[in-house]
Amino acid sequence: MEVMSGSCRLGLWFVHVWWSGDCVHRVIFSKTGIPGDVPLPVRRYCLGAEEHFATLKSISVSDPTIYGSIYRAVSEIPFGTTQTYGEIGKSVGTSPRVVGQAMRRNPTPIIVPCHRVVAKKGMGGFSPSPEIKILLLDLERKAVNRRRTSKAA
């Protein structure tokens, strides 16, 4: 199956996605866009929708190493919530440092939502810029608040 690529806006950033069918191979953030389309769930997410990516899978979750276990655990973090590097490490039997290394090497951020993994005391890092992590967490917080507000009305 042919790997397609494209980008969509996320605030001042672009999200580049390489994908085929329902499998996402790579996601990166950039200040410039590339031509091409991205899967609808990614576009919806970048526009602020509460998207759970049920129809997409990351190539990284099939990794048989500890990193694959970490990516699978991180994929289970609910939309709009966070867990610490230590909590993820404990759940898969490794250290917070190894979780941080896996997050730094995550080939499909957003799909494997590494932005939802935070430090015990603070945000933790995010490549290429911590401002993207803040943007993503804020986007999710606003979507959850919209859902709560509409249910309360």
List 8, 23, 46, 114, catalytic entry: 114
Q: Tell me what pLDDT residue 153 has.
A: 62
Residue range 4-152 in CATH 1.10.10.10: yes
Q: Which residues of the chain have pLDDT under 70?
A: 153
Q: What is the pTM of this model?
A: 0.93
Q: Tell me what pLDDT residue 128 has.
A: 86
Q: Tell me what pLDDT residue 58 has.
A: 96
Q: Are 95 and 89 in contact (CB under 8 A)?
A: yes
- Per-residue b or e along 75-104, where b marks 16 or more CB atoms closer than 10 Å to that residue's CB: bebeebebbbbebbbebbebebebbbbbbe
pLDDT, one tens digit per residue, over 63-86 is 999 999 999 999 999 999 999 999
How many Cα atoms are found within 13 Å in the side-chain-facing hemisphere of 113? 25
Q: Tell me what pLDDT residue 147 has.
A: 81
Provide, for the chain, the percentages of residues in helix, strand and coil under a 3-state DSSP scheme, each rounded to the nearest 5.
40, 20, 35
Q: What residue spans define the domains of the chain?
A: 4-152
| Known active-site residue 114 | yes
Q: Tell me what pLDDT residue 91 has.
A: 97
Q: Tell me what pLDDT residue 46 has.
A: 97
Pairwise CA distance, residues 106 & 149, whole Å: 33
Q: Tell me what pLDDT residue 140 has.
A: 97
